[in-house]
Structure 1
Amino acid sequence: MWLGHQRGYGFYYSKCFRMPELRTPLRPDFLALVNQPTHAGLTQSILEHWQDGRGFTLATLNLDHIVKMRQNPVFLGSYMAQSHVVADGNPIVWLSRLAGRRIELIPGSELVMPLAALATEHDIPVALLGATEETLQLAADSLRKDYPKLQIVAQIAPPFGFDPTGANADTYLETLRRANAKLCFLALGAPKQEIFASRGISQVPECGFVSIGAGLDFIAGQQTRAPQWVRKLALEWVWRMLGNPRRLALRYTRCISIMPGLIWQAIKDRAHS
């Protein structure tokens, strides 16, 4: 199935996303949101959900998400409702270890191929939602080339300004239900993808929603990841910022600004563990 139009990449500025920063004295322990510390454990949990006919929602925590959750109660609520959360960035891994929790780095962009392989092995129908029609087709072609037996049953490219809480979202979820999708890769960017996932699991409870950001763009060849040696040095963020300083400089500045508070929280967690 195919549904949709070309989608832009601008941040969603509807009324519900303009809510002011929470001023409550208590904030959640963001690091404790990670509930899938290892690749092996994540894989086993997903298999168990499929075997039981249950869906799931998978988010990939990084510093940018924490910045946005502090400012956006809707995003925060959606994140806390995710059934599976992994550590997408090295700072989350380091801070968690400082807090006394040993976790592995599991970037969202690196989940697509392993999960596609797992879906192929277990005859799980897959849907792609997000990005643009061109990107989805290129990504689908690439996935089918690597996994000829992979069932891609829906490709949905929402239009610019897509509201994950609006009527179009219901239409797309009905498309996923009719297509019998059991795994849906969401390439909408944060916070849209996590909000859509938390809504989707209630309407298509047998589907697993995996938020992967630019994961399909990488597979389609529309974006290029940093070289492996850069990633091993935990400098992928520098690589990305140099490639698009106007868009990313402020984002990373905000991420750095929350580090002292997160370090202090991690130290307190360790002391109480």
Structure 2
Amino acid sequence: MKSKYFLGIRFWNDKTESLLVSADKTGGLFTVPSAPSLGAMDNDFFLARAYRASDWAVVDGGYVALILRFCLGQSIRRISGLQLLQRLIGLGHNHPVPMEDRKILWVVPNANEQDSICNYLSQGNFELGKQHFYEAPLYKSDAEFSDQKLLAEIKIINPDWIIICIGGGRQEKLGYFIRQHFEQFVRKPVILCTGGAISFLTGTQASIPTWTDRLYLGWLMRIFSNPRLFGARYLDAAWRFPKLLWMSRKCLFAEGAEAGI
């Protein structure tokens, strides 16, 4: 079985390579939930709806994977956002999808992030002419995710992949908005919502060694890199995520709307 439901979200439960190849063939919304964002679902209906509408989703957080395995007796393969980006565009990594041939629209928070992505890709075999960028506004309210300017850019560019590099729980909502307008596009792109993970490749934030990510310690490296931001985020998740599990205990592994979140 290649997928399992958890909290109403269908999670991929197979190899990373086959996941990326499948997503590249069919397109769709691709989310990467971690404990902080999952814990926020109980009082953020928009976020919960975005996760449930995902065509592709992976368990990103080591905390989530450990809770699943040791507390709930379930095993869902953990694939981090960093791992996904490494397998897609990482220097020195095998790419199961020929991203060098794909037209990519990067949704970035600022011009500095755009420059760092361009600098990183220029070290590989990526044509910068196939890289397109959209500097996203702050999206201070849910209504602001209805970004008509972004839709217009997508129609013009007609990308194969849209990689959303804004974080803070906004990437999934923006991705969901784009997904709702697939019928307006010539092709159905992959909308990959990896948030700020790209910064660990480009060097905008301190890089995360591969071994720490695979040992479920990426969260700790993030805290070291920015204690004020990530320390508060993971401390909040330490109680909000278990609280959500308790509230949903009767339907943790039900499908879709049956999960009752």
By the TM > 0.5 criterion, same fold?
yes
Query: More deviation in 177-186 or 257-266?
Result: 257-266
Contact kept? 2:36, 2:241, Cα under 8 Å: no
Q: Deviations over 1:186-244 (max 9, x none)?
A: 01114221111111123245111101111232233211133344434433323322333
What is the aligned partner in structure 1 of residue 102 from structure 2?
124
SS at match of 1:87: coil
Query: Counterpart in 2 of 1:24?
Result: none
Q: Which residue of 2 aligns with 1:137?
A: 115
Greater shift after overlay, 202-211 or 57-66?
202-211
- Partner of residue 197, structure 1: 175
Aligned letter for 1:40? E
**Given residue 213 of structure 2, which amino acid in structure 1 is its aligned partner?**
R
1:8 is aligned to none
Does 2:154 correspond to 1:176? yes
CA, structure 1 residues 168+262, in 2 after alignment: closer, same or farther (shift >3 Å)?
closer
Q: Distance in 2 between matches of 1:29 and 1:167?
A: 26
Identify the match of residue 61 of structure 1 among 27, 33, 37. 33
2:22 is aligned with 1:77: no
| Secondary structure of the corresponding residue to residue 74 of structure 1 | helix
The one-letter code sitting in structure 1 at the alignment partner of 2:193 is S
In 2, distance between residues paired with 1:264 and 1:221? 38
CA distance in 1, matches of 2:8, 2:68: 6
CA contact (8 A) 2:107 2:162 kept: yes
Secondary structure of 2:101 counterpart = coil
Deviates more, 1:185-194 or 1:215-224: 215-224
CA distance in 1, matches of 2:171, 2:61: 18
Percent of aligned pairs with the same residue?
18
SS at the partner of 1:61? coil
- Give the CA deviation at 1:165: 4.2
Report the 3-state secondary structure (helix = DSSP H, G, I; strand = E; otherwise coil) of the residue aligned with 1:106. Answer: coil
- What's 1:96 paired with? 68
Asked whether the equivalents of residues 109 and 214 of structure 1 are also in contact (C-alpha less than 8 Å), the reply is: no
- Deviation for aligned residue 1:37: 4.2
Amino acid of the structure 2 residue aligned with 1:102: S
For 1:1-273, list aligned pairs within 5 A.
29-30=6-7, 32-49=9-26, 55-98=27-70, 99-116=72-89, 117-118=95-96, 120=98, 123-149=101-127, 152-161=130-139, 165-166=143-144, 169-204=147-182, 206-258=188-240, 260-261=242-243
Q: Which moved more, 1:135-144 or 1:146-155?
A: 146-155
Which residue in the other structure is 2:92 paired with? none
91 and 43 in structure 1: CA distance in 2 versus 1, 3 angstrom threshold: same
Query: Secondary structure of 2:222's partner?
Result: helix
TM-score, normalised relative to structure 1: 0.74
TM-score (norm 2): 0.77
Structure 1: give runs of 5+ residues left out of the alignment.
1-27, 50-54
Further displaced range: 88-97 or 231-240 = 231-240
How far the C-alpha of 1:183 sits from its partner, in A, is 0.2
Distance 1:148 1:122 in 2: 5
The CA RMSD measured in Å over matched residues stands at 3.2
